[in-house]
């Protein structure tokens, strides 16, 4: 008996999250789902913010934020959602720093990575760490997978946990506020 093997299970799961986001967002016209999301109050915004930080749950979380945007004060909801996203990012940050540190050190000794780092230094000079931080910030603020930005930030030697927390909170809060503003307009 042969087993069904899915060639791209992670991409299929990601596609499923987009379909789920579609139903959540258009669920605002489906009263039971809308009432359930609304009944969670700011806890629902906090949870959506926490899910906003993870690649596979960013789309449904964005849909929830869009659906709830007209129900809550945008500024307060962005601050609460930013806290949820920060909590998720701190989990990723600590996980990367503690679990992946040996692999990151080993990878940094790889000839290919050394070559990339050298090319980056030659091309960007002393601005390399700022360009890296800017790209990381873009991934953190947007509904794109924050894991990429958090990993980039965690790999910066000068990035303390406090500095990361302030940056991540501000970026997520800004990103969530933009989403809530868009949701309020549609």
Per-residue tens of pLDDT for the chain, all 186 residues: 456 677 667 667 666 766 776 666 665 555 665 677 678 889 989 988 988 888 777 888 888 888 888 889 999 999 999 999 999 889 888 877 777 666 666 666 666 666 666 666 666 666 767 777 788 888 888 877 787 788 778 777 777 889 889 989 999 999 999 999 999 898
pLDDT of the residue at 75: 96
What are the phi and psi torsion angles at 139 (to 5°)?
-65, -35
pLDDT of the residue at 14: 62
Contact between 44 and 81 under an 8 Å Cβ cutoff? The reply is no
Put simply, whether the predicted model's pTM sits higher than 0.75 gets the answer no
Contact between 84 and 50 under an 8 Å Cβ cutoff? The reply is yes
The residues spanned by each domain of the chain are 9-185
pLDDT of the residue at 3: 66
Residue among 133, 137, 144 at smallest CA distance from 179 = 144
Give the DSSP letter of residue 56: T
pLDDT of the residue at 34: 60
């Amino acid at each position: 008996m042969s087993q069904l093997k899915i060639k791209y299970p992670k991409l299929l799961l990601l596609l499923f999250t987009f379909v789920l986001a579609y139903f959540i967002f258009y669920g605002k016209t489906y009263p039971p789902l809308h009432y359930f999301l609304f009944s969670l109050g700011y806890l629902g915004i906090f949870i959506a913010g926490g899910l906003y930080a993870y690649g596979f749950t960013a789309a449904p979380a964005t849909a929830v934020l869009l659906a709830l945007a007209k129900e809550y004060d945008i500024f307060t909801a962005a601050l609460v959602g930013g806290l949820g996203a920060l909590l998720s990012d701190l989990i990723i940050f600590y996980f990367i720093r503690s679990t992946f540190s040996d692999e990151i050190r080993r990878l940094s000794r790889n000839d290919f990575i050394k070559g990339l780092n050298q090319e980056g230094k030659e091309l960007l000079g002393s601005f390399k760490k700022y360009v890296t931080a800017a790209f990381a910030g873009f991934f953190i603020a947007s509904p794109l997978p924050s894991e990429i930005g958090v990993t980039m930030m965690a790999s910066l030697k000068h990035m303390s946990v406090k500095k990361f927390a302030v940056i991540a909170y501000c970026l997520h809060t800004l990103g969530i506020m933009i989403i809530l503003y868009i949701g309020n307009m549609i």
